[in-house]
A and B are shown apart, each in its own frame.
Chain A
Amino acid sequence: MNNSTHPVLRSGLLLGLIALLGTALLAGVNELTHERIAEQEKRRILQQLNAILPVASYNNNLLEDVIEITDEASFHHPAPVTVYRARKDDQPVAVLMAVTAPDGYNGAIRLLAGFDHSGSVLGVRVVAHRETPGLGDPIEVEKSDWILSFMNKSLLDPQAEGWAVKRDGGQFDQFTGATISPRAVVKAVHNALVYFDANRQSLFDTSATNPERDNG
């Protein structure tokens, strides 16, 4: 290296060069992987949706037929709720709503709830939560069958007061040592179902927003 160059300048240039090389490397790898990453994210969402709604029951593109609703009063949460609409030959079949239960024991619990067009629950799954391992986490389908107890329930079965955990006089079991997590889930599913029942027509009729979402 030329010794007459100012050492600070030389150091600065060298550092800049390293930064440039690093950036170029990252840009290259990003270019190589971003399609596959987007695919993986899609595959994961579809997997979650299909766990509730059998593939054979619809034939539209579930991931494209999406609207987002922001309604804090109904969902008790400010975040937009993503609604996936399933149709067969353009006839409405079911919706899957990505709702958030704000009042878990350790923060929000993100859920995916599926309701068929007649208004009964197809299924519910927990997408993300931070409940205490071993106490609150039986809300996960991998840990216990509890979440399956929502299946085939509707607003008439049980009536409104039955949509609560047993300790609160409702129909749903709580867990030993954990009432808050199941209570939060029951409430969020009930809110979503009430919203679906009241807005069934518009939920299916609104044209898809197809939002650019970069994560699940």
Chain B
Amino acid sequence: MAEQLKNILLDGAWRQNTGLVVLLGLCPLLAVTNTLINGLALGLATMLTLMVSNLSVSALRGLLRPEIRIPAFVLIIASVVTVIELLMHAYFYDLFRALGIFIPLIVTNCAIIGRAEAFASRHGPLPSLMDGFATGLGFCITLVLLGALRELTGQGTLLAGAEMLLGDWGNYLTLTIIPEHPGFLLAMLPPGAFFGLALLIAARNALQADKAGKPAQAVSNLSAENLVGNSHET
């Protein structure tokens, strides 16, 4: 059991990383990552959604007939996301405003319904919860890395806006890494997100190739089928 959970964690966070390998959920990934904090906040919200939806789907999996499976997933995911949206609106108001439409749009992140279908509907609650956590963690790490990269190159700071997530003391966390940074517009605009993501994917592939001692496998070889078919059983 412990071995299986460890495998699930590694798969979700690294081997099948949603943002860098499977390339799902790219719209929020590219849109909100202009600062580290925005990335972190959306990453955490997505992770929470994945965990709750995976857990609910797994608990209901014995009852769900194949023909109503997808509508049921959609209902569950939409409810979870709306609850998170309401809570953020009430308790993290500034962050809610900064992320705007991308909180409700978590519903459309295909990574979530993908995990419900490919994993949670076939496994028990504990592995499903772990899978939600791992996939969310992988996505969150990607968002944070891309956010940090773009914030640093774009405006020379890190953790700007931390007070939105942490309250007033977050003001002291903002690090000015490059003082008097003139502002690098390309990094802040959407094209910068694509360049940044490409760099991260390349870096991951290089790391992977180093480990394996052979050329990196092209990302495009990993299709959606691969995602659905990857077996956590072994």
Contact = CB atoms under 8 A, between A and B. Distances in A.
Contacts of A152: none
B89 interface: yes
Contacts of A11: 65, 67-68
Given A14-B64, A18-B75, A26-B83, A44 B185 contact: no
B53 to A, nearest CB: 11
Interface in A1-34: 1, 7, 10-12, 14-15, 18-19, 21-23, 25-26, 29-30, 33
A22 B71 CA distance: 13
Nearest to A12: B68
A10 B76 CA distance: 18
Interface string A126-140: 000000011100000
Contacts of A23: 79
A40 B63 contact: no
Interface residues of B, number: 24
Interface string A52-91: 0000000000000000000000000000000000000000
B30 to A, nearest CB: 15
B86 interface: yes
A18 B188 contact: no
A134 B188 contact: yes
Contacts of B185: 133-135
Contacts of A40: 89-90, 93
Given A26-B82, A29-B86, A15 B93 contact: no
A36 B72 contact: no
A35 B158 CA distance: 34
A137 to B, nearest CB: 10
Contacts, number: 59
Contact of B183 (A21, A30, A43, A134): A134
Q: Which of B71, B76, B83, B188 has the most CB of A within 10 A?
A: B83
Interface string B35-47: 0000000000000
Given A25-B79, A29-B86, A36-B90, A7 B65 contact: yes
B87 interface: yes
Q: Which of A19, A25, A134 has the most CB of B within 10 A?
A: A134
A37 interface: yes
A19 B75 contact: yes
B175 interface: no
B183 A37 contact: no
Interface string B75-116: 110110011001101110100000000000000000000000
Interface string A101-139: 000000000000000000000000000000001110000
Given A25-B83, A26-B83, A30-B86, A44 B93 contact: yes
Contacts of A37: 86, 89-90
B89 A33 contact: yes
B189 interface: yes
Contact of A36 (B65, B67, B91, B189): B91
B86 A14 contact: no
Nearest to A19: B75
Contacts of A44: 93
A18 B83 contact: no
8 contacts: A14-B63, A18-B60, A23-B79, A26-B82, A26-B83, A36-B90, A133-B188, A134-B188
Interface of A: 1, 7, 10-12, 14-15, 18-19, 21-23, 25-26, 29-30, 33, 36-37, 40, 43-44, 133-135
